[in-house]
């Protein structure tokens, strides 16, 4: 697989721009953050806290804004038909119920059809769906569906493992517990050998 990966990486920067950024009103977010913190009993006159509402607004804006990237697919001229897998892509997202982070890794793989994707783009696709209010199950399915739609591969599989701060530092308080979710399509769902290979490489 290594020579293929290198060729793909070299081709990575030749595409159409794709800009998923939402519109953000930082001034309104800063005012709202000030109100929220005050309502929660924070002393906004304490030393060091004067700029906190602005910092909070900026931090959440960053966590909710994926970086734009160039969407890159290529014809699969060499007819590569084995699993292409990016393991351990780190991500952080925000749970839509508590707006607290969930943090973990994504394993994203596909068996190419007629189109292939620059490998570094798999990480950017994870970021595209992580940097919004999310639930882990939906994010897993969105990444798989997106790849299915864009590449029409013979198979696609996504596994996410994450620790949810809303479970580990509040609520049930289970630090270190991780949640695993998966979504598989095509051969990675229906073909026993491909499915087994994918899950052997991504779990356990």
Q: Which residues bind Zn ion (CB under 5 A)?
A: 95, 97-98, 166
Give the burial class of 202: count Cβ atoms within 10 A of its Cβ; 0-12 exposed, 13-18 middle, 19 or more buried: buried
Active-site annotation holder among 51, 97, 137, 196: 97
78 is catalytic: no
Least separation in angstroms between CB 100 and Zn ion: 6
For the chain, the three-class secondary structure string (H helix, E strand, C coil) is CHHHHHHHHHHCCCCEEECCCCCCCHHHHHHHHHHHHHHCCCCCCCCCCCCHHHHHHHHHHHHCCCCCEEECEEECCCCCCCCEEEEEEEEEEEECCCCCEEEEEEEEEEECCCEEECCHHHHHHHHHHHCCEECHHHHHHHHHHHHHHHHCCCEEEEEEEEEEHHHHCCCCCCCCCCEEEEEEEEHHHHCHHHHHHHHHHHCC
Active-site annotation holder among 98, 148, 150, 161: 98
98 is catalytic: yes
96 is catalytic: yes
Least separation in angstroms between CB 101 and Zn ion: 9
Residue nearer to Zn ion on the CB measure, 126 or 162: 162
Least separation in angstroms between CB 22 and Zn ion: 20
185 is catalytic: no
136 is catalytic: yes
Active-site annotation holder among 136, 142, 185, 197: 136
Query: Taking a C-beta distance cutoff of 8 angstroms, is the pair 114, 76 a contact?
Result: yes
Residue nearer to Zn ion on the CB measure, 54 or 166: 166
- The strand order across the sheet containing 179-186 reads 133-134, 84-95, 101-111, 155-164, 179-186
Residue nearer to Zn ion on the CB measure, 67 or 170: 170
Least separation in angstroms between CB 152 and Zn ion: 34
137 is catalytic: no
Residue nearer to Zn ion on the CB measure, 63 or 166: 166
Active-site annotation holder among 9, 51, 82, 96: 96
95 is catalytic: yes
Residue nearer to Zn ion on the CB measure, 5 or 135: 135
Least separation in angstroms between CB 134 and Zn ion: 10
In the complex, which residue's CB is closest to Zn ion? Answer: 166
Active site residues: 95-98, 136, 164, 166
């Amino acid at each position: 697989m290594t020579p293929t990966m290198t060729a793909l990486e070299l081709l990575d920067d030749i595409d159409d721009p794709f800009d998923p950024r939402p519109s953000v009103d930082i001034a309104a977010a800063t005012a709202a953050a000030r109100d929220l913190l005050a309502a929660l009993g924070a002393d906004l006159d304490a030393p060091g806290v004067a700029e906190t509402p602005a910092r909070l607004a900026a931090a959440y804006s960053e966590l909710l804004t994926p970086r734009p990237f160039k969407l890159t697919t290529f014809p699969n001229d060499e007819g590569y038909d084995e699993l292409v897998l990016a393991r351990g892509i780190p991500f952080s997202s925000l749970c839509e119920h508590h707006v607290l982070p969930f943090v973990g890794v994504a394993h994203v793989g596909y068996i190419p059809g007629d189109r292939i994707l620059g490998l570094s783009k798999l990480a950017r696709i994870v970021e595209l769906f992580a940097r919004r209010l999310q639930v882990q199950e939906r994010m897993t399915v969105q990444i798989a569906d997106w790849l299915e739609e864009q590449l029409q591969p013979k198979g696609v599989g996504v596994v996410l493992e994450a620790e949810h701060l809303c479970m580990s530092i509040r609520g049930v308080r289970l630090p270190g517990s991780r949640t695993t979710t998966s979504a598989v399509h095509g051969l990675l769902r229906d073909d026993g050998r491909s499915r087994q290979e994918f899950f052997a490489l991504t779990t356990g």
